[in-house]
């Protein structure tokens, strides 16, 4: 299964467009999100998969573009595969994760 990637620069353009219709998912742990986060991303920690997996289609629309982020891009790639298996049609993984976003787009976001 091929997962589409999105660069942090492309993500920044989407976030800057207030009319952009995207769903934003962060799969990092709550403790990680407390250190560094990007406004608009909804937290679905992979470690809490059991608590949110059954309601994901109620909370998100499988037909809307969905962008997934983690620390470096590995956990988010796993989430992208799972979302596609659940019928999500337009899923993108943030290449390099929030670490790359901090380095290349917004240095005010702490690195860890």
Q: What's the whole-number average pLDDT of the chain?
A: 96
pLDDT band at 96 (very low <50, low <70, confident <90, very high): very high
| pTM (2 d.p.) | 0.96
Place of tokens 């997996």: 53
CB-CB contact of 52 with 77 (8 Å):
no
CB-CB contact of 12 with 96 (8 Å):
no
Question: Which of 40, 38, 44 is closest to 110 using CA atoms?
Answer: 38
Q: Where are the domains of the chain?
A: 4-104
What does the pLDDT look like over 69-81, one tens digit per residue?
A: 999 999 999 999 9
Question: Percentage of the chain with pLDDT > 70?
Answer: 99
Catalytic residue among 8, 70, 77, 79: 70
How far is residue 53's CA from residue 19's CA, in Å, rounded to a whole number? 28
pLDDT of 18 over the 90 cut: no
pLDDT of 102 over the 90 cut: yes
CB-CB contact of 26 with 11 (8 Å):
no
- Residue 46 is predicted with a pLDDT of 96
Class of domain 4-104: alpha beta
| 47-65 mean pLDDT | 96
Active site residue 80: no
pLDDT of 64 over the 90 cut: yes
Place of tokens 């005010």: 108
């Amino acid at each position: 299964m091929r997962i589409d990637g999105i660069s942090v620069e492309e993500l920044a353009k989407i976030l800057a467009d207030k009319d952009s219709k995207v769903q934003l998912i962060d799969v990092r742990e709550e403790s990680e999100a407390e250190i560094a986060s990007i406004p608009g991303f909804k937290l679905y920690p992979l470690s809490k998969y059991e608590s949110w997996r059954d309601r994901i289609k109620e909370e998100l629309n499988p037909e809307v573009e969905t962008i997934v982020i983690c620390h470096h891009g590995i956990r988010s790639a796993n989430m992208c595969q799972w979302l596609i298996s659940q019928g999500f049609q337009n899923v993108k993984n943030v290449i390099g994760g929030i670490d790359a976003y901090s380095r290349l787009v917004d240095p005010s976001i702490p690195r860890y």
